Amino acid sequence: MTEATATIQNYAGIHARPALLFVQTASSFVSKVQIKAKGRTVDAKSILMIMAMSLSRGTEITIVADGPDEAEAVNALKALIDSKFGEEGYEEEQEPVLTVQDYLKMADKCFVSGDYREAIENYSAAIELEEDCAVAYNNRSYAYVKLEEYDKAISDAGCAVRLQPDEANYYDTLGCAYMGLKNYSKAIEAFDQAITLNPNFAEAYYNRGLCRQAQSIDDSTKAQDDFNKAKTFGYIS
């Protein structure tokens, strides 16, 4: 484990832009990286956690890293702080520069890495900036599916569908949420709509097949038909 102390020196403290730079730098290392300040310890790769600490000018923090590149991580982050995040000479607090797309990109990266909670936080931040952001609702829904929080997933997928009713992917997500609750009839309705909008939607065929297979009421032939179509359109299980 390697650690070092540093003092926030830039005029505006850790607002959105320096927080993003800090997280991007921390995330470029394999090691687990945390910062300690004000009696709290938070993940240095989480922009929401860092901004929630309200690190103002003059605040002393401790950077702690543990892993194969821990020394490099600590040195890079300390150098970033010592450089005042490139804000030398600024006399007024800068406006936050994080956009909906910034939050979506960070959320998607968290989702791919399996950090669904952090993904949800970033999708939620995107929705706060743009309350009719259908893709954020849909992707947050799928993160809830991964966490088996199906009621929340249904609510979010429903919002996505209402905002953009011609997007097949959103119905597929809604179907997955209903499937998690074993409400196969509702799930099949959603997958039907996804396939109507996109007749080549391999995942929707496969998921509908799973529902029909689970129902076990003379749907075995239909289920196999769906699996065959999914394979035809390139689905790989």
Tell me 86's DSSP state: G
CATH annotation of 100-232 = 1.25.40.10
- Phi and psi, residue 128, nearest 5°: -60, -35
CATH annotation of 2-86 = 3.30.1340.10
Mean pLDDT in order along the chain per 10 residues (237 residues)? 90 82 93 92 91 86 95 94 75 62 92 94 92 96 97 97 96 97 96 97 95 77 90 83
Our answer to whether residue 15 is catalytic in this structure is: yes
pLDDT at residue 75, as a whole number: 95
Alpha-carbon radius of gyration of the chain: 22
Give the start-to-end residue ranges of the domains of the chain: 2-86, 100-232
pLDDT at residue 96, as a whole number: 54
pLDDT at residue 12, as a whole number: 75
pLDDT at residue 97, as a whole number: 62
Distance CA 182, CA 234 (A): 26
pLDDT at residue 16, as a whole number: 83
State the distance between the two ends of the chain, measured CA to CA, in whole angstroms: 40
- Among 8, 12, 15, 173, the active-site one is 15
pTM: 0.63
